[in-house]
């Protein structure tokens, strides 16, 4: 099970170091795919297999366009990725672009029980309605972003 929030960054080659407490669950491979709200989802290969079975069972008929759309989102956008002995994994350019992650950019890794999510730091902060700071004439002004504003802002990123 995965819990917590970890701040990390991508290196100049697009690699991410997994937090130490998560590494043993993945052996030397993981499945990374496009997630919801513009993040990436990271599964152990075993959990990815369970997720695939659940999708087919819950979504039902392959002739249904919605079924195919969901399957395409998770399958066509994903990759099996190797994890090296130092815990580094290469995030593909396509996945980085989807999640708006810059090379050498800050990311947040969050535990989601049976999987991890990887967010660009900016999207994570917007999604969570974190405080943003705007300097004004009278000094520092604090602007709290509502979740609705954050969702709208995420769509423009």
The terminus-to-terminus CA distance of the chain in angstroms comes to: 30
pLDDT in tens, 121-146: 999 988 888 645 443 333 333 344 44
Tell me what pLDDT residue 142 has: 34
As a whole number, the mean pLDDT across the chain is 83
pLDDT in tens, 64-101: 788 788 888 888 888 999 999 999 999 999 999 999 99
Domains of the chain: which residue ranges? 5-121
What does the DSSP assignment read for 14-53?
SEEEPPHHHHHHHTTEEEEEE-GGG-EEEE-HHHHHHHHH
Buried/exposed 8-31: b ≥16 CB within 10 Å, e otherwise: eebeeebbbbbbeebbeebeeebb
CATH of region 5-121: 3.40.1550.20
Of the candidates 27, 41, 53, 37, which has an alpha carbon nearest to the alpha carbon of residue 77? Answer: 41
| Angle made by CA atoms 6, 31, 2, in degrees to the nearest 5 | 35
Q: Which residues contact 128 (CB under 8 A, 6 or more apart)?
A: 150
* Entry pTM: 0.78
Check pLDDT > 80 for residue 60.
no
More confident residue, 38 or 149: 38
């Amino acid at each position: 099970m995965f819990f917590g929030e970890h701040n990390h960054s991508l290196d100049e080659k697009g690699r991410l170091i997994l937090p130490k407490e998560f590494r043993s669950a993945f052996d030397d491979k993981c499945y990374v795919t496009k997630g919801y709200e513009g993040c990436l989802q990271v599964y152990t290969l075993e959990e990815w297999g369970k997720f695939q079975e659940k999708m087919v069972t819950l979504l039902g008929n392959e002739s249904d366009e919605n079924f195919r759309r969901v399957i395409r989102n998770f399958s066509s956008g994903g990759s099996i990725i190797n994890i090296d002995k130092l815990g580094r994994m290469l995030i593909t350019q396509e996945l980085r672009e989807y999640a708006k992650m810059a090379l050498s950019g800050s990311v947040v890794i969050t535990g989601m029980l049976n999987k991890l999510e990887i967010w660009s730091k900016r999207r994570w902060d917007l999604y969570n309605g974190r405080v943003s700071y705007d300097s004004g004439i009278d000094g520092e002004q604090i602007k709290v972003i509502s979740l609705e504003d954050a969702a709208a802002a995420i769509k423009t990123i």
